[in-house]
Chain A
């Protein structure tokens, strides 16, 4: 076949092809999809384009898209891991903070207790000291009172004797003996 024009080829189909064309409504020539004249050309160019595309897909496109998707998966996994690690850190920080807070609170409590105890002890001590000094002064005062009283009481006897001897002298006109008066005063005081 040395015809070059496509129209010339399609215009001269075999009788077998022609009746297919008529059945399909093509009219005077073969229904093109069933025309075997072009099968070699279609097959050759399909093979060339399909195989070329297959190798392009296999060598370039799929590794490229696959790598991108894999890379994304890794990035997301890595980020999630990092987020988990950061959360752990944050949790640890919170725990440390709370521990410290609790410690500080305990220490504050301890300090407060100690201060209160010290203040109480000091107050107690002061009170005791004051009481002791007051007790001392009281004892001294009582001693003085007692001595004053004793000396006063001692004087009471002699005053009573003088008074009694004077009263007796005035009433009786005689002088009573000193010893009698002393015995009488003593008896009266007891």
Chain B
């Protein structure tokens, strides 16, 4: 399987672990399903364990759990206000899930759940429909005010409304592709440079010496990817908060 080692796409392959077929659909438990379960169990378990003490003076792990809580709470409160706090469990789940999936993906041989387009699309669509439903439930047709910014000259209104509607409906696309593309491109880049090490290393002594450069690159890129894992989880959850704010305060 030498080709797999240098093939940057190999890490995104889906392998069935437990085949399940229902009504012509392949619902198999795959390596990605396994890592979804691992991400959920690990984040749930870690947060549960870290907060078990419920100490007034927190331990380090409890501090991390509380920081995550307060970070996502302030993220939601700052963009959607106090009324937005109804969505806090969802935002917290989303943030921790994406963050944990991104970080687990940084381990060699571990698949990155968020590098599968369908996963990020599904999460983005959940946010999208949640915003629409919550907006209509709260404001009824008043939700359409979202597309009509105040203080715009009447002549420009049709154009602005058209742009607003397009931007609203393309949100799930940009929302999902941003996370997916970042994770995919990052992992491919790391893998390509790691592949250079392998290829050069097989060319003898000179090749081994030359392989030091891509090795340095891989170390640097890995650090960058860990930053991006945090950043993209934050961006994904932050955008969800901003969209939720539209459901709660549709007028601009």
Measured CB to CB, the residues of A under 8 A from B are 1-2, 4-6, 9-10, 24-27, 31-35, 37-47, 49-50, 52-54, 56-58, 60-62, 64-69, 71-72, 75
- Interface residue tally of chain B, by bracket? 35 or more
Q: Verify B39–A61 contact, CB threshold 8 A.
A: no
Whether A49 contacts B70 in the complex (CB less than 8 A), given A33-B115, A56-B44, A64-B51, comes out as no
Whether A65 contacts B51 in the complex (CB less than 8 A), given A41-B28, A50-B97, comes out as yes
Q: How far is the CA of A38 from the CA of B111 in the complex (A)?
A: 15
Chain B residues near A75 (CB, 8 Å)? 56
Chain A residues near B51 (CB, 8 Å)? 61, 64-65, 68
Q: How far is the CA of A2 from the CA of B24 in the complex (A)?
A: 8
Q: How far is the CA of A127 from the CA of B65 in the complex (A)?
A: 93
Of B74-82, B84-92, B158-166, B205-213, the stretch lying at the interface with chain A is B84-92
Q: What's the minimum C-beta distance from B247 to chain A, rounded to whole angstroms?
A: 18
Is B193's CB within 8 Å of the partner chain A?
no
Is B122's CB within 8 Å of the partner chain A?
yes
Q: How far is the CA of A1 from the CA of B56 in the complex (A)?
A: 57
Interface of A is mostly: helix
Q: What residue in chain B is nearest A53 (Cβ atoms)?
A: B40
Whether A57 contacts B39 in the complex (CB less than 8 A), given A41-B26, A43-B122, A68-B66, comes out as no
Q: How far is the CA of A160 from the CA of B104 in the complex (A)?
A: 155
Q: What's the minimum C-beta distance from A43 to chain B, rounded to whole angstroms?
A: 6
Q: What's the minimum C-beta distance from B52 to chain A, rounded to whole angstroms?
A: 9
Shortest 9 CB-CB distances between A and B: which pairs?
Answer: A45-B33, A6-B16, A58-B89, A49-B36, A32-B12, A40-B25, A53-B40, A49-B40, A65-B69
Q: Verify A10–B9 contact, CB threshold 8 A.
A: no
Not counting A10-B13, A43-B122, A60-B48, a sample of 18 additional A-B residue pairs whose C-beta atoms are within 8 angstroms of each other reads A38-B14, A41-B14, A41-B25, A44-B27, A45-B29, A49-B33, A49-B39, A50-B36, A52-B40, A54-B90, A61-B44, A61-B48, A62-B69, A65-B51, A68-B54, A69-B69, A72-B56, A72-B58
Pull 29 A–B residue pairs with CB atoms less than 8 Å apart, ordered by A.
A25-B8, A32-B13, A33-B184, A34-B117, A35-B14, A38-B26, A41-B14, A41-B25, A41-B29, A41-B33, A42-B119, A45-B30, A45-B36, A49-B33, A49-B40, A53-B40, A53-B44, A53-B93, A53-B96, A53-B97, A57-B44, A57-B89, A60-B48, A68-B51, A68-B54, A69-B69, A71-B56, A72-B56, A75-B56
Chain B residues near A42 (CB, 8 Å)? 14, 30, 32-33, 116, 118-119, 122
Whether A39 contacts B14 in the complex (CB less than 8 A), given A53-B97, A57-B92, A62-B69, comes out as no
Chain A residues near B55 (CB, 8 Å)? 68
Q: What's the minimum C-beta distance from A75 to chain B, rounded to whole angstroms?
A: 5
Q: Verify A43–B118 contact, CB threshold 8 A.
A: yes
One of A33, A41, A50, A54 near B117 (C-beta < 8 A): A33
Q: How far is the CA of A54 from the CA of B40 in the complex (A)?
A: 9
Q: How far is the CA of A1 from the CA of B27 in the complex (A)?
A: 12
Q: How far is the CA of A60 from the CA of B52 in the complex (A)?
A: 11
Q: How far is the CA of A35 from the CA of B59 in the complex (A)?
A: 45
